[in-house]
Structure 1
Amino acid sequence: MKITLDSQLGLVLTAIQAEDQSVLYQLMDEVYRSGYRYIWEDQGDWYVNLIYNRHTLHKELKRSTSHYFFVELDEKKIGILKYDFPFSPREIEIPNAMKLHRLYLHPEVHGKGIAKILMDHCENVAMENGLESIWLEAMECQMQARKFYEKMGFREILTYTLDFERIFPEYRNIQIMKKSLL
C-alpha cells in the first residue's frame, strides 16, 4: 500500500512488509544512530537489534492497531513512520488515542517540512477514526524533537525514567506528550 502525501515533493508512505526487514534494519541502523548514538553505552547496538530484528517486525505487523511505513522522497527511503490506534500508555490513561510510535527521518531531510506533513497525516487519520488525541514519547535530551512537537501543539503530561541499562543514566528521562484533537 502506498499513500501519496505530497505529489509535488514526491513524498510517499509505503507500508512496510515482513520481507522488508533487512532494508528497514539497514535504514534505521543509520538514521536512528545518527540522532541517538550518544545516549547509549553501545552506541545503540542493543536497541537497533531489538527493535528492527525480524521477530519484532513480524510481531508489530501482526497487530491490527499498528500502521508502519517507510517514508519515501522521490522513491528514496528517508525514514519511517509508525502509529498505533487505539493505544494508551501504561504510565497514564489516555483513552481513545493514537500513539505516534516512531517518526525518524534521515538528517539530510531535516528542516524541509517533511515531519510537519507526516504529523498532519497522523492527525487526519486520527480524526477520520474518531480519536480524541495523539500522544508520543520524546527523550528529554532531544531538545530539537521536543521543540518541534511543542510547535505542533503537543504538551508534556508526564516524565518518567526508562529502565534501559545501556542508556547512560543522565539520558534516561522520557516525556509523554499529548495533543488533543477536540
Structure 2
Amino acid sequence: MNTLKITKASTNDVIQLQAIGRQTFSETFADANSEENMNKYLDKSFAREKLTAELNNPSSYFYLAVLDEKVVGYLKLNTGDAQTEKESADALEIERIYVAKEFHGKKVAQALYAQAEHTAEELKASYMWLGVWEKNFRAVSFYTKNGFVQFDTHIFKLGDDEQTDLMMKKVLI
C-alpha cells in the first residue's frame, strides 16, 4: 500500500464525499437493513445540498482518506451546536469514520481516528464521543480498542426503522 494521506475536505470535495459516503454506508449496513430504509437514509443524508451545508458549517470538520489519488474513506467531526446530541461545548463528536470495504484491516480507520485525536487536541476538547449501532460489532470493537467506553444509548432512525446506538466516550483531560 502506498502512502495514505488524510486531507481536510472542502466544498470542492462534495462529489467525492457524497460518493464515498454512500458507498461505505451501503457496504456497512445494506445487508442488515431493508432496501427502502437504506435508500431513504442515503438520499437524505448524502444529498449534495446537505453535504455542502455541513461542509460550510464552521463547527463540523470533514477529512478524506486518499490513497493513490482515490478517496477510500472519510471522517466527520462535530463541535458545539453541530453535535447530533446535546453534549458539552468542549466535546468533540466523531459522527462518522467510514472506510471502503476493500481497505478494511489496512489501518485507514486508525489513520482517520488519529486525525480525530489531533483535532480534539487542537480544539482542547475535554472528551470525544460517538454513537455506534449496537449491531456494528466491528466498529464497537474498534472504538473499545481505542479507549472508548459506553455511557448511554440513543435511537438512530434509518428510514422508518428505529435502531439503538451505543453512546461511547473517551475522556481526554
Any conservation in 2 of the 1:40–1:166 contact (CA below 8 Å)?
no
Give the match's secondary structure for 2:154.
Answer: strand
Partner of 2:108: 114
- Tell me, in whole angstroms, the C-alpha distance in 2 between the residues paired with 1:136 and 1:155: 10
Kindly report structure 1 stretches of 4+ aligned residues shifted beyond 4 Å: none
Structure with higher helix content:
2
Give the match's secondary structure for 2:16.
Answer: helix
Give the aligned residue type for 1:178: K
Please state how far the C-alpha of 1:19 moved relative to its aligned partner.
Answer: 4.1
Give unmatched runs, 5+ long, in structure 2: none
Partner of 1:133: 127
Give the match's secondary structure for 1:131.
Answer: coil
**1:155 and 1:49, CA in 2 relative to 1: closer, same or farther beyond 3 A?**
same
Partner of 2:168: 177
2:31 is equivalent to residue 38 of structure 1: yes
Give the aligned residue type for 2:67: L
Give unmatched runs, 5+ long, in structure 1: 1-7
Any conservation in 2 of the 1:126–1:134 contact (CA below 8 Å)?
yes
Please state how far the C-alpha of 1:122 moved relative to its aligned partner.
Answer: 1.2
Q: Percent identity?
A: 26
- Tell me, in whole angstroms, the C-alpha distance in 2 between the residues paired with 1:90 and 1:77: 28
**TM-score with structure 1 setting the length:** 0.83
Any conservation in 2 of the 1:21–1:52 contact (CA below 8 Å)?
no
- Tell me, in whole angstroms, the C-alpha distance in 2 between the residues paired with 1:28 and 1:165: 16
Number of aligned residues? 171
Please state how far the C-alpha of 1:86 moved relative to its aligned partner.
Answer: 3.8
2:140 is equivalent to residue 149 of structure 1: no
Partner of 1:101: 95
Deviations 1:88-126 (A, max 9, x none): 5536x4441111111100111111122122212211221
2:56 is equivalent to residue 29 of structure 1: no
Give the aligned residue type for 2:132: A
- Tell me, in whole angstroms, the C-alpha distance in 2 between the residues paired with 1:109 and 1:21: 21
For the aligned residue pairs, the C-alpha RMSD in angstroms reads 2.1
**1:9 and 1:126, CA in 2 relative to 1: closer, same or farther beyond 3 A?**
farther
- Tell me, in whole angstroms, the C-alpha distance in 2 between the residues paired with 1:106 and 1:26: 11
Deviations 1:136-180 (A, max 9, x none): 11000101100110000001111122344533x5xx111111001
**1:164 and 1:43, CA in 2 relative to 1: closer, same or farther beyond 3 A?**
closer
